[in-house]
Amino acid sequence: MFTQYIFHFLSIMALFSAVMVLASKKPIHSVLFLTLAFFAIAGHYVLLNAQFLAVVHVIVYAGAIMVLFLFTVMLLNLNKDERSPKPMWVNFIAFVAGGMLMLTLIGIFRGYDIKAAHDPMISQIGLVKNLGKILYHDYLIPFELSSVLFLTAMVGAVLLGKKEQI
Amino acid sequence: MLTIILILLPLALSLITLTLKSEKAVRQYVLSGSVIEFGVAVAAFIQYKTSCHCNLLFTADWLSTLGVSLKFGMDGISLLMVMLTTFLVPVIILSSFSHSYSKPAVFYSLILLMEMALVGVFTAFDGLMFYIFWELTLIPAYFICAVWGGNDRIRITFKFFIYTFVGSLFMLVALICLYFKTPLPHSFDYHWLYSAVLTPAEQAWIFAAFFLAFAIKIPIFPFHTWQPDTYTTSPAPGSMLLAGIMLKMGIYGMIRWMVPVCHNAMQLYAPFIITLAVIGIVYASVIAIRQSDMKRLVAYSSIAHVGLIAAGVFVLNPYAMQGAVIQMVSHGINIVGLFIAIDMIEKRTGSRVISELGGIATKAPRLAVVFMIMMLGSIALPLTNGFIGEFLLLLGIFEYSKVFAAIAGLTIIFSAVYMLWMYQRTMLGKTNGITEEMTDITWTETVAFIPLVIMIFWIGLSPRLFLDVALPDVMTVLDYVRL
Amino acid sequence: MMDYIVFLIPVFPLLGFLILGLGYRSIPKKLTSIVGPGTILLSFILTLIVFFNFHQFTNSPTHHLFPWISVGPLNIPFAFLIDPLSILMLLVVTGVGFVIHVYSVGYMKEDPGFNRFFAYMNLFVFSMLLLVMGANYPIMFIGWEGVGLCSYLLIGFWFKNQEYNNAAKKAFIMNRIGDLGFLLGMFLIFTTFGSMSFDQVFAQAKSMPVGSPVVVAITLLLFVGAVGKSAQIPLYTWLPDAMAGPTPVSALIHAATMVTAGVYMIARSNILYVLAPATMTVIGITGLATAIFAASIAIFQNDIKKILAYSTISQLGYMFVGLGAGAFTGAMFHLTTHAFFKALLFLGAGSVIHAMGGEQDIRNMGGLRSKLPKTYWTFLVGTIAIAGIPPLSGFFSKDEILLHLYEHSVVMWAIAVMGALMTAFYMFRLLYLAFFKNFRGTDEQLHHLHESPSVMTTPLMILALLAAVGGLINIPELFAGGSWLSSFLAPVFADGAAISLPPVPVSHSTEWMLIAVTLAGCIAMIYFAFHRFVKQDNGLQPDGTQRSGVVRLLSGKYFIDELYDLLISKPLLWLSRFLHEIVELRFIDRLVNGAGNIVVWTGNTLRYIQTGNVGFYMFIMILGIILILFFNILI
Amino acid sequence: MNTLSSIPIHYYLIFCSLLFSIGVIGVLIKRNALVILMSIELMINSINLLLAAFSAYNNDPSGQIFVFFIMVVAAAEVAIGLAIVVLIYRTTHSIDINVLNKLKW
């Protein structure tokens, strides 16, 4: 039962933060709420016994990405209100569309009867040791390629960020 | 073996032509080359007559996994078409010498390429080969019209290209569909395609696709609107190739593919199609009466004539089918003759407008005589080639339906009306400012007419040679209907 | 040997045509004047050989030349049929043809197109011979269309004049209308009898019941062809216009031979026609109407050739009446005598025109009797012959038809007699106006007046002789004659005669009475014409005079040309324009272009969806996702 | 029977759907490019979580490996995305995406 409470708590926290990301007027607040949401999701990972992912998640998202966002906001001095919010009807349509998507998704998932084949609590696959084995054994080449991707992204970001016109 | 020579020779000639520089060299080379090609065709004809036509069969593997092979051969009908093509191309080339076309090497190279594609269409015994050559004819035709054409040529050739291309895509769909219905292993070999087992619905769809392709190419009313513009705008050799040979592809395709493959659907829809064709005959004839441009008038007359041929194919009986085959040859000869004559008038007077001309017969009696002969062939006077075809066609249609025959028969009245009108206004009467300085055709120009005149009377007087060549295969085709 | 003789008959004119046609520039006129008539003479001699040995030739009447068209069961050989009927026609065609050719040598001497003229004429004779000799319908059809072509070429012989060309075109097209009927009739014959050869068709037809619909249809269709070719109502208007051609052409083609082809064809197919009484009635009525109608128009014409043209139509009408009454021999007899006297009249008219320097209006003639004595006397013979005064040929042939008609129906007889009276009237009107009283033309014409050279007058005299004595070939029993022609032609009409019910023969006294009535009427008419045009001189009104309604109607030729123009030509041209400008360009072409334009338009319109607004793109994307998922649920 | 197994997998499905939809709504309603990027991150996270959940429930490590790779890609994407945002800001002095409508028609 305890885990259920944790699950609900984390879920509500994540959803609330997510809503607040959108609801905040200032981007800086959005970024902070986003960080909160990320932490909540990291908690979920822990709950799923996926410690490795939880750690990576915190490092990548709450660490790297958030910092990037914060730096951008601050460096560009974007911390002000949106100049002209979208008209009401656009928001309305957006809400309807998003709501429909949600209903559709939920509708789909409700229809499926998914049996849990394994108890996640006793699952050991999320441990660093196991994942590491798989990652360096089965997924070695994608793993290495992802480093190339990072390199590319880095070069790209630097190029884009340069003052001069390309 | 001769079959593949017939296809490859023009291709080789065409490529070599591109390397030649001077116009004179190109002309001599191209003319002699096309005459040799005709000689090969005659050799094939003789060989065909003296032995079974399996000698003319050429087979080689190409995409064997897909069942596509390089299979070429000739039966009586293809043979006549190949003879027509190889006969007309030297005539067309010869007649074009009175003009000086820019970039002659490319121009004549395209004509030879066209010849190769046309021969390919008529000899292909493989569905995919047929399609490939069918489309290949469009390329030289497009460039001949679009580069050397008259006013507004780009728009008109574009329309021509797109229109016929859309039609042929339907044919491709039909062929592929047919391919998947063939017994395993699938093959594009025409015998396999013939043996495809089709439900009535499938037959109807394949019929529709084939019909669209062929009807546009022929063209049958109401798919004809590309034709008058294109014939009018094209340079004379282009018009001749289009009207004389290329539109025969459509009728040939009907006989070769539609009759054996979807004859049930043909029989089912024949009343509608023949109605269309008959409407087209009257419609085009009536329109032709008031045309002011000679080429356009001939273009409309051509719609009327081929409408009759198409109706003849659809009644599916030996007379009409034979008539269609012989009329294809006749129509090719006559219309090429008419276009040559018009071209010579245009070259001398600078005008094709009927109302601007007149009195040419006094200035150019030789031209007037050959024009008259072509015209008589075209209006199907007995003892000319046109009569044999129209007689058999109308007889066949009459057997099918007396009403259709009566309406289609109006063509013999209307053709007289518009042809005589054109002849009277251009050839007869007094000369005027434009025709005053007109000179008669030279003897070299007359040479282009002589083979045509000979053929007109040969077929008119003694069509047996041609009828007998085609008859067994016409019967074979019709046997598919009876089965 | 016999085959060769038969084949050579048409070959000579064809050779003549080829020689003159291919060398029309280089051959001197001298040579042409030998080759042109010479080839016809050779054919005539051969025909005479055939005629005098005709028993040998008719033993196996069909002479095969070569197979022409053969497709499966359809087998059309190029074959000739020699039987009494075709021999009679051959004699007329080659004989009269030769005489007219000789005449033409004189008539066309000054014309620059001399060689061309004889080439066409030879081609015409060739076609006519094919028509006559053909052993099956298609061969007949070759000739049938061939003579139409030659008629076209010769009417428009002076092709610089577009009026003449129009006349030529009209003739050809009206003929073609008939030809379509002929062609369809041929097809129906083939589908019914499985053959187009005369012998096979007629042999099978014999066993058919009388009045079967298919035979009626066949005969009606063939009759349409005859109507076109022989200028009967409603397709007669081309013949008067055809007078645009040189006069020998009018004599040969539009009087003696080609226009009688319809009569010949019906006589040839007599078995079929006997089997179709309904068609016979139609033929009779058409012929009768044409006879009266054309005669009434002729009364008020002033052009010498037009009068003769309407007269020809009228006489052709008589032949058709004869055919309709079943008097095949009578029709053929009249055809023969008509060939003589009408050729004579035309050639005489030609001589007059020649002398007058191209003047054709009889109001400007007069008094030519003294200036052109030979022409006058021969013309007089022709006029008397056509008027039906015994003992000239026209009397016998016309009488035979009238007699048959009387047996058939008294009313039709009465109408036909009326026509005969009109014929007598207008012919003598012509004669009186042209040859009697004083000359009314210009001084220049008077100065120019001269009798034609002997190369022209000799043919006139030959034809006058024939017109005078031509009736002797079929003198009826009444005059103690042997009816030679009837017995000669009997084999051809025997089968037909066996089928049709023989009419009740009228007694000799009735016959005498009929002749008397007709004759008295004719003489009265001749006197009336004499009184009116020679004594009173009030038959000459210039073109602009106001005239009463009936006269205006008649001199306006019932305005049939105008009617046709209004009902057929104009609407056709209008339809052509409508179809081209509205249906073709505005409708079909727009539909086609529309298909292309829709693609362009769609592209142009859908382009605006590309708003550049990222939010909008995302919205569409999400909408797409929703739809995909949604359909996933549904499926 | 462990206590955790009382959390049915449906809970994760619904939770992730909600999170994803919020992300979608964010993308739709916001004009600030930065916030839109954040919304995209939310969506990616919801997917990640779901992958991890299925992986855990099915005892299949591949799912978690995928989450790892997605994180890699997401990090790269954010780096590039933010670079672009900076670039846009430099040229237009705004990060309002409605200004970026030059690529139309």
Q: pLDDT, tens digit, for every residue of B406-416?
A: 999 998 899 99
Shortest CA gap B225–chain C (Å)? 6
Over the stretch C46-83, which tens digit does the pLDDT of each residue have?
Answer: 999 888 887 777 777 888 888 888 888 888 898 898 88
- Taking contacts as CB-CB distances below 8 angstroms, the residues of chain A near C633 are 104, 107-108, 111
Across the interface, do C618 and D28 touch by the CB < 8 Å criterion? yes
Q: Look at residue C546 and tell me whether its pLDDT is greater than 70.
A: no
Query: Is C66 buried (19+), middle (13-18) or exposed (0-12) by CB count in 10 A?
Result: exposed
Residue of A nearest to C620 (CA): A97
- C 39-78 residues with CB < 8 A to B: 66-72, 74
Say which of C71, C579, C591 has its CB closest to residue B322: C71
The answer to whether the beta carbons of residues B7 and B132 sit under 8 Å apart is: no
Local structure of C140: helix, strand or coil: helix
| The predicted structure's pLDDT at residue C503 | 65
Return d(Cα A38, Cα A59) in angstroms, integer. Answer: 10
Over the stretch A106-159, which tens digit does the pLDDT of each residue have?
Answer: 887 777 766 666 666 666 777 888 888 888 888 899 999 999 999 999 898 888
Over the stretch C453-473, which tens digit does the pLDDT of each residue have?
Answer: 888 888 899 999 988 888 888
Over the stretch C206-240, which tens digit does the pLDDT of each residue have?
Answer: 888 888 889 999 999 999 999 999 888 888 888 88
Average pLDDT rounded to a whole number, residues B73-90: 90
| Crossing angle (nearest 10°) for helices B402-426 and C162-193 | 160
| The predicted structure's pLDDT at residue D1 | 38
Q: Look at residue A7 and tell me whether its pLDDT is greater than 80.
A: yes
Over the stretch C504-533, which tens digit does the pLDDT of each residue have?
Answer: 677 788 888 888 888 888 888 888 888 888
- Taking contacts as CB-CB distances below 8 angstroms, the residues of chain C near A108 are 629, 632-633
Q: Rg of the Cα trace of chain B?
A: 21
The answer to whether the beta carbons of residues C377 and C447 sit under 8 Å apart is: no
pTM: 0.83
Task: Tell whether A141 lies on the interface with D, counting CB pairs under 8 A.
Answer: no
Average pLDDT of chain D, as a whole number: 84
Q: Do chains C and D touch (3 or more CB pairs under 8 A)?
A: yes
Average pLDDT rounded to a whole number, residues C111-139: 90
Q: Look at residue B39 and tell me whether its pLDDT is greater than 90.
A: yes
Q: What distances in angstroms separate CA C342 from CA C259, C299, C307, C383, C464, one per listed residue?
A: 12, 17, 11, 9, 10
| The predicted structure's pLDDT at residue C14 | 92
Terminal C-alpha separation, chain B: 32
- Distance between alpha carbon B278 and the CA centroid of its chain, in Å? 19
Q: Look at residue D3 and tell me whether its pLDDT is greater than 50.
A: no
In a domain? residue D105: no
The answer to whether the beta carbons of residues C261 and C230 sit under 8 Å apart is: yes
Across the interface, do D59 and A125 touch by the CB < 8 Å criterion? yes
- CA angle centred on D79, ends D78 and D81, rounded to 5°: 60
Across the interface, do B420 and C169 touch by the CB < 8 Å criterion? yes
Share of chain B above pLDDT 70, in %: 99
The 3-state DSSP composition of chain D as helix, strand, coil percent (nearest 5) reads 80, 0, 15
Q: What distances in angstroms separate CA B234 from CA B108, B146, B242, B420, one per listed residue?
A: 15, 8, 9, 24
Q: Do chains C and A touch (3 or more CB pairs under 8 A)?
A: yes
Structure tokens at B442: 């030279």
Across the interface, do D101 and C613 touch by the CB < 8 Å criterion? yes
| The predicted structure's pLDDT at residue D43 | 92
Return d(Cα B230, Cα B238) in angstroms, integer. Answer: 9
Q: Look at residue B169 and tell me whether its pLDDT is greater than 80.
A: yes
Other CB atoms within 10 A of residue C326 CB: 26
Over the stretch B184-215, which tens digit does the pLDDT of each residue have?
Answer: 788 888 888 888 888 888 889 999 999 999 99
Q: What are residue D18's phi and psi, to 5 degrees?
A: -60, -45
Structure tokens at C160: 């610089």
- Taking contacts as CB-CB distances below 8 angstroms, the residues of chain B near C183 are 391, 394, 409, 412
Return d(Cα C191, Cα B317) in angstroms, integer. Answer: 13
Confidence of residue A78 (pLDDT cuts 50, 70, 90): low
Average pLDDT of chain B, as a whole number: 88
| The predicted structure's pLDDT at residue B363 | 84
Task: Tell whether C173 lies on the interface with B, counting CB pairs under 8 A.
Answer: yes
Strand pairing of C74-81 and C62-71?
antiparallel
Selected for mutation to probe chain A from C611, C626, C633 (highest A CB count within 10 Å) is C626
Return d(Cα B388, Cα B126) in angstroms, integer. Answer: 31
Q: What distances in angstroms separate CA B253 from CA B121, B123, B248, B265, C323, one per listed residue?
A: 9, 11, 8, 16, 51
Candidates B122, B137, B132; CA nearest to B79 is B122
Across the interface, do C615 and D102 touch by the CB < 8 Å criterion? no
- A 20-59 residues with CB < 8 A to D: 21-22, 27, 30-31, 34, 37-38, 41, 44-45, 47-50, 52-53, 56-57
Candidates C579, C217, C175; CA nearest to B281 is C579
Domain interval for residue D32: 3-99
- Taking contacts as CB-CB distances below 8 angstroms, the residues of chain C near D13 are none
Across the interface, do C623 and A104 touch by the CB < 8 Å criterion? no
Q: What distances in angstroms separate CA A133 from CA A102, A137, A138, A139, one per listed residue?
A: 37, 6, 8, 9
- Taking contacts as CB-CB distances below 8 angstroms, the residues of chain B near C191 are 398-399
Shortest CA gap A19–chain C (Å)? 19
Confidence of residue D4 (pLDDT cuts 50, 70, 90): very low
| The predicted structure's pLDDT at residue B392 | 92
In a domain? residue D104: no
Q: What are residue B243's phi and psi, to 5 degrees?
A: -80, -35
Across the interface, do B226 and C187 touch by the CB < 8 Å criterion? no
Tokens 């116009």 -> residue: B23
Residue of A nearest to D81 (CA): A157
Q: Look at residue C580 and tell me whether its pLDDT is greater than 90.
A: no
Q: What is the largest CA-CA distance in chain B?
A: 71
Of the ranges B424-433, C206-215, C410-419, C437-446, which one carries the lowest mean pLDDT score? Answer: C437-446
Domain CATH number, residue D28: 1.10.287.3510
Candidates A57, A56, A44, A52; CA nearest to A15 is A44
Across the interface, do A135 and D82 touch by the CB < 8 Å criterion? no
Shortest CA gap D22–chain A (Å)? 7
| The predicted structure's pLDDT at residue A41 | 92
Return d(Cα B330, Cα B84) in angstroms, integer. Answer: 9
Contact residues for B347 (Cβ-Cβ < 8 A; gap 6+): B98, B99
- Identify the DSSP state of B151: T
Average pLDDT of chain C, as a whole number: 86
For chain B, the chains sharing at least 3 beta-carbon pairs closer than 8 angstroms are C
Confidence of residue C547 (pLDDT cuts 50, 70, 90): low
Q: Look at residue C86 and tell me whether its pLDDT is greater than 50.
A: yes
Across the interface, do C165 and B429 touch by the CB < 8 Å criterion? yes
The residue extents of the domains of chain C are 279-543, 560-634
Number of domains in chain D: 1
Residue of C nearest to D21 (CA): C622
Q: What distances in angstroms separate CA C583 from CA B293, B411, C586, one per listed residue?
A: 19, 20, 6
| The predicted structure's pLDDT at residue D2 | 45
Over the stretch B121-144, which tens digit does the pLDDT of each residue have?
Answer: 999 888 888 999 999 999 999 999
Across the interface, do A65 and D24 touch by the CB < 8 Å criterion? no
Q: Look at residue D46 and tell me whether its pLDDT is greater than 90.
A: yes
Average pLDDT rounded to a whole number, residues B438-461: 87
Average pLDDT rounded to a whole number, residues B85-100: 89
Over the stretch C592-628, which tens digit does the pLDDT of each residue have?
Answer: 888 888 988 998 888 888 877 777 887 888 888 888 8
Across the interface, do C619 and A93 touch by the CB < 8 Å criterion? yes
Residue of C nearest to B470 (CA): C71
For chain C, the chains sharing at least 3 beta-carbon pairs closer than 8 angstroms are A, B, D
Task: Tell whether C146 lies on the interface with B, counting CB pairs under 8 A.
Answer: yes
Region of C122 (left: φ > 0; alpha: ψ -120 to 50; beta: rest) is: alpha
Across the interface, do D39 and A21 touch by the CB < 8 Å criterion? yes
- Taking contacts as CB-CB distances below 8 angstroms, the residues of chain C near A86 are 615
Local structure of B165: helix, strand or coil: helix
Share of chain C above pLDDT 70, in %: 97
Local structure of B469: helix, strand or coil: helix
